[in-house]
Chain A
Amino acid sequence: MTEPVLSIRDLSVEIPTRKGVVCPVDGVSYDIQPGEILGVVGESGAGKSMAGNAVIGLLNPPARIAKGEIWLNGTRIDQLSGDAMRRLRGKEIGMVFQDPLTSLNPLLQIGDQLTETMLTHLDISRSEAEQRAIAALQEVGIPGAADRLNSYPHEFSGGMRQRVVIALALCAEPSLVIADEPTTALDVSVQAQIVALLKKLCRERGTAIMLITHDMGVIAEAADRVAVMYAGRLAELGPVREILTSPSHPYTDGLMASTPLASRGKSRLHQIPGSMPRLNALPDGCAFHPRCPYVADKCRHDPGPQGVEGRAACWFPIVRERTA
């Protein structure tokens, strides 16, 4: 097996508040291999973005990493100083956020934003950086790339802006890209374009991508493996087809059943009762137990095993006959 690009071991993030310490990420472990797209799904408040921010060192204080290790290409990065982390960010890890308008500087032409990133991280001349910027824009499918270098972000449409952000994330050739809800603000047809672009870049360059989203459809189409998060914990982790067709955690099972699907016709949607607990009011035992249809006494007291590859974080995982 090749060395993973990113390896997270037992990562916990905590936020001290006046009413005690809450734990938005609790003992999460996963790896991403080169050229792989790992989908991280969960509802709002599940801790999926918080885990991504911890990797890139952008946790907003007072949030902090409480325990665990983050390894990037064999180097431990969770204890790096702010300065060392800044050199890493952009060079080794690229980032794509949900709203392309807030991640671009509205006062700078996009050519300047691209060359600045490259000049900071790579040892190249300005003219070479400009050549590379044009190539990067062409690669993400922006027509007339050479002419668009002098355009400002507001002159692009939403989908084109997101392409610029992707070009920006990739221009220093990082080994890992964290894409946090990259298509949520976009229309369906543009979303399909961006997903196809991410898949292409991942395949051609061998970049590893952490794709954080709440949209199961996007995960199904783009990801190789998927991590399902619930209330800060990893519910389950595995190959996307396996998890989505035969989930073993009751939460994933309920989530899949409650998604409207063509094949189900007009029957009533399956309902998971209640909603995700707030972090300051997590129930004892397994966080999902008040909503779980298979709850047993044990679940009310003991949180159960941590979710890892091939094992759901559940005392009584659903076992199915494989219909393959």
Chain B
Amino acid sequence: MDLVKVKNLSRSFDVSKPWLNRVIERQPKLFLKAVSEVDFDIAERSTYALVGESGSGKSTIGRMLVGLLTPSGGNVEIEGVDLAHETDAAKVSAVRADIQMIFQDPYASLNPRWRVRDIIVEPVLARGGETKGLAERLLEQVGLSAEDAGKFPHEFSGGQRQRICIARALSSEPRLIVCDEPTSALDVSVQAQVLNLMSDLKDSFGLTYLLISHDLTVVQHMADRIGVLYLGRLVEEADPDTLFSDPKHPYTQMLLEAAPRLDAFGREVVPPEGEIPNPIEPPKGCAFHPRCPFAVDRCRTERPDLRQIGTSRAACHLAE
């Protein structure tokens, strides 16, 4: 059963200069396509991971899923309800209560003037729920102590703050949690604690995660299914074992090759060519072709569709 269905999802941002400049300089409006025509489903009680470099649109997709941004094309269905187009407010509200989000920076996502108790129960309070003893119970579940409820965020370390963010996300008993780089701001030893906690909570609460990360090792460890994004498009989707042992798309291959490895002492890598192109004017055809070592003429003119190859899906003319 799929909890989330993302169909043909697109989002563009208007990055034009102000009206007067456009008139004087005779420039057209400019749009940045952050996400274009992305399709994927997330099965209930699984972890779906989106990986990609900066500017690949992974956070934009996460924000559209929770409703912080509206899609400019396509739709997101959660529990069968399309949040952007559903007109029945009661339905939308019911689905909204099932979605929560954890952000990257635990320093910026907690209100410094609120006590931890108030922070944690806010999602419940906002819907008029019963909050007695809730914060204390959740704090113990995420590995802090009940006495911490009366403290302020500044009294905690980065890892502990991320635990508070997780407790807040859990308070409204969600089914889906969107985790946007949940451990990127944390040290390695603390990252292991938070990842283990997330796995435990997933089992005990029956959660579904959308995990957004640039760190391939974290993704490999956590995910049941991985989508690789490049310049706003899904270029490959596979389960972790297949993706890491047999990547189909040249971009995935490049990413895996470039990622630093702990067991590769003094490894001589031929570093990848080039950088992510300007998303305002993406290359024609396959967006990866200027950096692709296998590019042929067809790649320069015709954009490959995402096709099924074995258990994976890849958007490459040459993949097999």
Binding site for B on A (CB under 8 A): 43-44, 157, 159-160, 187-193, 195-197, 214-218, 220-221, 224, 240-241, 244, 254-256, 258-264, 266, 268-273, 275-276
A258 near B262 with CB under 8 A, answer no
- C-alpha spacing A196/B191, complex, angstroms: 27
Contact of B192 among A44, A214, A271 (CB under 8 A): A271
Distance to closest chain B CB from A224 (angstroms) = 8
Please give the residue numbers on chain B whose beta carbons come within 8 Å of chain A beta carbons, in ascending order: 53-54, 157-160, 187-193, 195-196, 199, 214, 216-218, 220-221, 244, 254-255, 257-267, 269-272, 275-276
13 more A-B residue pairs beyond the given contacts A189-B271, A193-B271, A259-B192, with a C-beta to C-beta distance below 8 A: A44-B158, A188-B258, A189-B254, A189-B275, A191-B260, A196-B271, A221-B264, A261-B262, A262-B220, A262-B244, A275-B157, A275-B159, A275-B187
Whether the Cβ atoms of B255 and A256 lie closer than 8 Å is no
List of B residues within 8 angstroms of A43 by Cβ: 187-190
On whether the beta carbons of A269 and B195 are closer than 8 Å, the reply is: yes
Partner among B191, B217, B276 whose Cβ is within 8 Å of the Cβ of A187: B276
The complex places the Cα of A233 from the Cα of B33 at a distance, in Å, of: 49
Q: Are A258 and B258 in contact (CB under 8 A)?
A: no
A241 to B266, CA, bound (A): 9
Is the Cβ of A221 less than 8 Å from the Cβ of B192? no
Q: Check if A189 sits within 8 Å of B196, measured CB to CB.
A: no
Most A CB within 10 A of own CB, among B187, B244, B257, B264:
B187
Q: Can you show 26 pairs from A to B with CB atoms below 8 A apart?
A: A43-B187, A43-B189, A157-B275, A187-B275, A188-B258, A189-B271, A191-B258, A191-B260, A192-B258, A192-B269, A217-B261, A220-B262, A240-B266, A255-B188, A256-B262, A260-B192, A260-B195, A260-B220, A261-B262, A269-B221, A270-B192, A271-B192, A272-B189, A273-B193, A275-B159, A275-B160
Identify which of B54, B217, B275, B276 gathers the most chain A CB atoms within 10 Å of its CB: B275
Asked whether, in the complex, the Cβ of B214 is within 8 Å of the Cβ of A217, the reply is no
B259 CB to closest chain A CB (Å) equals 5
Closest-CB distance, A275 to chain B (whole angstroms): 5
B272 contacts A220, C-beta separation under 8 Å: no
Chain B: minimal CB distance from A241 (Å):
5
Contact A268:B269 (CB < 8 A) given known A187-B214, A220-B262, A255-B188: no
Distance between Cα atoms of A224 and B265 in the complex (Å): 9
Contact A259 B269 (CB under 8 A): no
Q: Please name all residues of chain B whose beta carbon is closer than 8 Å to the beta carbon of A261 when the two chains form the complex.
A: 217, 262-263
Known contacts A187-B214, A187-B276; A217/B221 CB under 8 A: no
Q: How far is the CB of A42 from chain B (nearest CB, A)?
A: 9
